[in-house]
Amino acid sequence: MPELRWGPLRRRWVIVAPERGKRPSDFRVQVPPAASSPRDCPFCPGNEHLTPPEIARISGPDGNWRVRVVPNKFPALSDGPRLELARQGILRRASGLGAHEVVIDSPDHVRDLDELPLEQVRLVVDMYIERLVALSSDLRFRYVQLFKNHGREGGASLSHPHSQIVATPVLPPEAEARLSAARDFHSAHGRCLVCELVEEELKVGDRVVEAGDFLVLSPYDARFPFELLILPREHGHDFTQLSRRDAFARALKGALTRLRALLGDVPYNFVLHTAPRGTDWPGIEDWYHWHLEIIPRLTKLAGFEWGTGMFINPMPPEAAAEHLRAAL
C-alpha cells in the first residue's frame, strides 16, 4: 500500500508507491552514442581556444592541466558592477548579476567521476572548494550553488564530464527553506538536525548504503528512485572547511560507482547544500550541516508534482539501499 512520508530536511511530504514500481533492472539505462567527439569538444585538451578565457586550473607534474575552470559560454547570470533593483506594483525585478562557471572534471572526454582515479576526483574536490571560496568572498553574491548535470536527461548539453557553479545575488528559496528547517530544529531541540539524522539512520540501518567518514544513504523521504544523500558524520556547516577531502572524494566516487553498477550510465544531478557566507544567519556554525544530494533522473515530473509540490517515488528507499549495497 502507498504511504506518505515527511522528512525534516525539506519539510515536505512525498508519496512512496511501490505498486507503481519496477525491478532495478527495469530502470537500467541504455546509453545513446556520444553527441560529440574529442576533435570538436571545447573541453578536450588542444581545444582550449574554444572556451572563454580560463579562470583557474590545476596542473599535473607534466605541466598539462588536470582540472580546468572557465566561464559558461551561455551564462544564466553574468558579471556586473552592482545589483540593480526595481519595483512595478507588487512585482520586483533585479539585474542578472552573478557568476556562472564550468569545472571541467578532467581531460578525459568520456569517463565520469566514478570512472576516474580517486586522485583525480580529489583534484576536482579541491577545485570545487577553491572556486566556492573565491565566489563566496565576493560581497555582491548571497549564495553559491555547486551542481553537476550528467547525461541528456540530467540536463548536460555537452557530453564531456563537467560540473557547474552559479553565484546568485539573492538567496534561492530551496537554500532558504533548508536553512530555516535546520535553524528551527536547533531552536526547538538544541541539536543539529543532520547530526540527529545521522544518529537515527545509523541506528535503523536499513537505508544506509555506506558508513565511513561520510554516511551515504537513501533518504527516508526520497523523491526519486535511488536518490542518495552524502552526509559528513563530523559536524560542519561549510563545505569549504572540509578537512577530510580524500574521504569525501572516496564517498562521492563510491556512491556514483554503485549507481552505475546497478543502473548503467544513469543520468543524474548532484547538488551541494552548504552554508552561505555573511551574517544573515546568526549561529549558523552550530546548527547548519552541509550535505550533498545525488538525484538519478529516472522518473518524470507531471501534473500532480507541479500542482502539489509532492513527489511520487515508486522505489521504497529501503529497497533502493538494499540494491545499492549489493551492487558492488
Catalytic residues: 162
Dihedral sign computed on CA atoms, order 214, 218, 223, 224:
positive
**Residue from 20, 24, 29, 28 nearest 319 by CA:** 24
Q: Which helix (H) or strand (E) holds 3?
A: strand 3-6
Q: Which residues of 105-120 are buried (b: 16+ CB within 10 A; e: fewer)?
A: bbbbbeebbbbbeeeb
**Residue from 131, 151, 221, 133 nearest 181 by CA:** 221
Please give the Cα distance from 93 to 73 (Å, whole number).
24
Q: Which residues are within 8 A (CB) of 304 and not within 5 positions of it... i.e. 6 or more apart?
A: 310, 312
Q: Which residues are within 8 A (CB) of 188 and not within 5 positions of it... i.e. 6 or more apart?
A: none
C-alpha cell at 228: 542518495
**Contact by Cβ (8 Å): 315, 226:** yes
Q: If DSSP codes are grouped into helix, strand and coil, which group holds residue 58?
A: strand
Please give the Cα distance from 50 to 23 (Å, whole number).
43
Q: Which residues are within 8 A (CB) of 151 and not within 5 positions of it... i.e. 6 or more apart?
A: 29, 31, 265, 266, 267, 268, 297
Q: If DSSP codes are grouped into helix, strand and coil, which group holds residue 85?
A: strand
